[in-house]
A and B are shown apart, each in its own frame.
Chain A
């Protein structure tokens, strides 16, 4: 046992929240953030989704077990568990769909650099790569193959870049988690302010991103 373990034991927030609940909170946060942010956010680390999947599986098993039981008293518990399960599944579904929508929209962009690729989960990466290949193939067989060879690329760099990127300057709402100095770029002039904890601010995602990544603010 080292000092970290001792500290953790006396930390009131560590023991008061069970792991499952922490996971749910994490999922809810990730879901809200993913739906508000204009660009794809990194896939949650530390196997959050493996645990969530396990939880869902075990709840489904529990429901099946209880269904066999015709005792009216367990019926109420069954309803509660099933409702909770449906909500849990909805969160995961909506979260994954929000990500897929972003990936589909700017596939080439998210596949372009290693840094961006690392935001995708393995499954998403496989999906995006395959999807892009399908699209390119479709273009090729529909018309690109009869083009002159130098025009068959999907990313002609001459002139305007053909690969579309998400609008990082789109506006987002954030809630400040700490007292922090907020800087925002405006159309006519830039604004700075001393933000207080739990203030809600609207600003460009590109300005909000450092705060969110540093854990000083969260998307709402």
Chain B
């Protein structure tokens, strides 16, 4: 028989695993629902247990009931923490993507389109998004928020590289004859096979 908190523990494990993954694994909608249901059931049990006492429950007089209440109380809170941790881990990942300029929603759409093979092998509903609808909303809203904050620092390019700039120029290998290229410092001829230094912005 499954014990209280087993499901919550599973969620916590999922969260832990997610931390080390580059991509976001599918949202555990079923598990989240089950844990939430467990919390509701526990709460119902607490209400039923306390009903006959009419608000005058004395823990010292009835140790057995007091113990049940305590366990239920703690399990509910533990489940809640597991749920919070699971969702926070995922939103952290999503925020990271937003900062890196990855279009998460676009990525999801691609996975859905390209995931046909994987779905056939695993036999699961591979067509469903790895994000919950709520998460998709969240990504959109967070993107807006970040854009608003960034907009106040337009000159800085807040999401730019966090590597300290060493050099204004980067090496560029010319892959295709591009003729003369106009730079801020004059013209350079871009001939196939040659290496050029170029302004990092170009």
Cα of A146 to Cα of B36 in the assembled complex, Å: 7
> Which has the most chain B C-beta neighbours within 10 Å: A56, A93, A154, A156?
A93
Q: In the complex, what residues of B have CB within 8 A of residue A67's CB?
A: 184
Tier of interface size on chain B: 35 or more
Residue from A82, A100, A142, A148 in contact with B134 in the complex, judged by beta carbons closer than 8 Å: A142
Asked whether any CB of chain A lies closer than 8 Å to the CB of B80, the reply is yes
B142, CB-defined interface residue at 8 Å: yes
Interface string of B115-146 (1 = CB under 8 A from A): 00000000000000000101101100110010
Contact B36 A86 (CB under 8 A): no
- On whether A93 and B157 interact (CB within 8 A), knowing A142-B32, A148-B43, the answer reads yes
**Are the CB atoms of B76 and A151 closer together than 8 Å?**
yes
Kindly supply a per-residue 1/0 record for chain A positions 116-152, scoring 1 wherever the CB is within 8 Å of any chain B CB and 0 otherwise. 0000000100110011001101110111101110010
From A56, A83, A123, A162, B165 is in contact (CB under 8 Å) with A83
Contacts of A142 in B (CB 8 A): 32, 83, 87, 132, 134-135
Determine if A146 and B40 form an interchain contact, defined as CB atoms under 8 angstroms apart: yes
CA distance A100 to B146 in the complex (A): 11
Say whether A156 contacts B77, CB under 8 Å: yes
Surface stretch bound by A, among B16-24, B53-61, B102-110, B148-156? B148-156
Residues of B within 8 A of A151 (CB): 39, 43, 76-77, 80
Q: Residue A6 at the B interface, CB < 8 A?
A: no
Contact code string B50-90 (vs A, CB < 8 Å = 1, else 0):
00000000000000000000000010110011011001100
Q: Is A57 an interface residue (CB 8 A)?
A: yes
Provide the residues of chain B in CB contact with A94, threshold 8 Å.
Answer: 162, 164
Give the A interface residue count (CB, 8 A): 46
In the complex the two chains form, is B155's CB within 8 Å of A158's CB?
A: no
Once the chains bind, are B138 and A138 in contact (CB under 8 Å)? Answer: yes
Q: Is B1 an interface residue (CB 8 A)?
A: no
Tell me, in angstroms, the Cα distance from A172 to B68 when the chains sit together.
46
What's the least CB distance linking B55 to chain A, in Å? 15
**A105: min CB distance to chain B, Å:** 9
Q: A16 → chain B, closest Cβ, in Å?
A: 28
* B9: A residues at CB distance < 8 A: none
Contact status of A53 and B39, CB under 8 A, knowing A78-B184, A127-B149, A151-B76: no
In the complex, which residues of chain A have a beta carbon less than 8 angstroms from the beta carbon of B152?
A: 123
Which of B77, B157, B165 has most chain A Cβ within 10 Å?
B165
B185 and A75 contact, CB distance less than 8 A: yes
Q: How far is the CA of A70 from the CA of B158 in the complex (A)?
A: 31
Q: For the complex, is B160 an interface residue (Cβ under 8 Å from A)?
A: yes
Question: Is A14 an interface position by the 8 A CB rule?
Answer: no
Q: In the complex, which residue of chain B has the Cβ closest to the Cβ of A80?
A: B168
* Separation of A82 and B168 alpha carbons in the complex (Å): 7
Expressed in whole angstroms, the minimum distance between the Cβ of A134 and any Cβ of chain B is 5
Q: Mind listing 15 A-B residue pairs with CB under 8 Å?
A: A53-B155, A57-B155, A70-B186, A90-B161, A90-B165, A96-B156, A126-B149, A135-B88, A138-B134, A139-B83, A142-B83, A143-B36, A147-B36, A147-B39, A148-B39
**Interface on A for B, CB 8 Å cutoff?**
53, 56-57, 60, 67, 70, 72, 75, 78-79, 82-83, 86-87, 89-90, 92-94, 96-97, 100, 104, 123, 126-127, 130-131, 134-135, 137-139, 141-144, 146-148, 151, 154, 156, 158-159, 162
